[in-house]
Amino acid sequence: MRKLTYRDAVREGLREALQKDERVFLMGEDVGRYGGCFAASKGLLEEFGPERIRDTPLSESTFTGAGIGAALGGMRPIVEIMTVNFSLLALDQIMNDAATYLHMSGGLFNVPLVIRMATGGGKQLAAQHSHSLEGWYAHIPGIKVLCPATLEDARGMLWSALLDPDPVLIFEPAVLYPMEGELAVDAGAVEIGKAKLLREGKDLSLISYGSCLHKCLDAAAILAEEGIETDVIDLRTLRPLDEKSFLASVAKTHRALIVDEGWRSGSISAEISARIMEQAFYQLDAPVERICSAEVPMPYAKHMEEAALPQVVSIVETVRRMVHG
């Protein structure tokens, strides 16, 4: 095992992909000389050169479209969009082009494109840089939506995504980039499309992903000291949802709390709740509950941002109420 940060793990995944396949290249705003807005690509320009680490103009629609064209032409582009908020400028390219080519071509044209972007709040970057919109993208057929919360997934999801013949979006929680942890020396590609049970319990299922996953793990540790044992499930992939994993957990614990940094209305948590109600209603001893971000533009002030986001204390209090009444 070795110690490194989430940012380092992302960089290792990028380096491995560039070394393994000469068709792979990275493009986006400030990914080259600056080393990436979050320093995830620092040093890669010097290692691989400007043909494979390409700085782009500040035009998300343009370079995302160029990535789609490169993928159709046989390359394996990795497009980095600085933050999820900016991806809305490329939504036409993502939804109306990348996600639909295979269907509209009658199965003739795949788009092996990977788009990476930072997501979520917690870094005081205010409303135009801090929202969690990955749940929106999980609504779109034709793409896969990944959200690595661990160093293992930050390191290993990229290569698996590049092997997929269709578009894959990877949402990296911005607040996790400096997170330190341990990673195996021989860490490599990981399976995508499957959730993972990170902690096992009998009283309640905590279902989450991304940065909120770590809040759930912290809450679970506090609750365990009180005798409340929870399953903690890392969804990992939001499209397709691995519903078998969380339905199996609910069948065991008979209670479910979904923690989602997105807004509550129309959220991925609403989709998960609906699937539990549709397929596991008679397994429940209490209604499914959700903790989401406040339905406001993300505040800049630290205390207001913290108030807007799900927090460990609210998870702990909700679980206590659900278990004890």
Question: What digits encode the pLDDT tens for the residues 30-60?
Answer: 999 999 999 999 999 999 999 999 999 999 9
The tokens describing 25, both together, are 């290249």
Domain count, the chain: 2
What is the dihedral sign for C-alpha 89, 272, 100, 37? positive
**Active-site entry in 16, 29, 60, 80:** 60
Same domain flag for 241 and 158: no
Beta bridge partners of 53: 26
User: Is-catalytic flag, 29?
Assistant: no
Upper half-sphere CA count for residue 262 (Cβ side, 13 Å): 23
Residue 188: inside a domain: no
**Active-site entry in 129, 131, 271, 305:** 129
Please give the average per-residue pLDDT across 201-222, as a whole number. 98
User: Is-catalytic flag, 60?
Assistant: yes
Task: Answer yes or no: is pLDDT of 256 > 90.
Answer: yes
Question: What digits encode the pLDDT tens for the residues 269-286?
Answer: 999 999 999 999 999 999
Please give the average per-residue pLDDT across 182-201, as a whole number. 95
Distance CA 119, CA 209 (A): 12
Residue 252: inside a domain: yes
The residue out of 117, 150, 183 marking a domain boundary is 183
Residue span of the structural domain in which 312 resides:
196-324
Same domain flag for 129 and 264: no
Comparison of pLDDT for 201 and 122, the residue scoring more: 201
The residue out of 158, 183, 208 marking a domain boundary is 183
Same domain flag for 167 and 284: no
This prediction's pTM: 0.96
Same domain flag for 207 and 177: no
Is 67 in contact with 77 (CB distance < 8 Å)? yes
**C-alpha dist (Å) from residue 269 to 113, 141, 157:** 27, 18, 23
Same domain flag for 23 and 170: yes
Task: Say which CATH number the domain at 56 has.
Answer: 3.40.50.970
What is the dihedral sign for C-alpha 144, 147, 153, 159? positive
Residue 296: inside a domain: yes
Same domain flag for 287 and 151: no
Distance CA 152, CA 216 (A): 18
pLDDT of residue 325: 82
Residue 14: inside a domain: yes
Residue 70: inside a domain: yes
Task: Answer yes or no: is pLDDT of 199 > 90.
Answer: yes
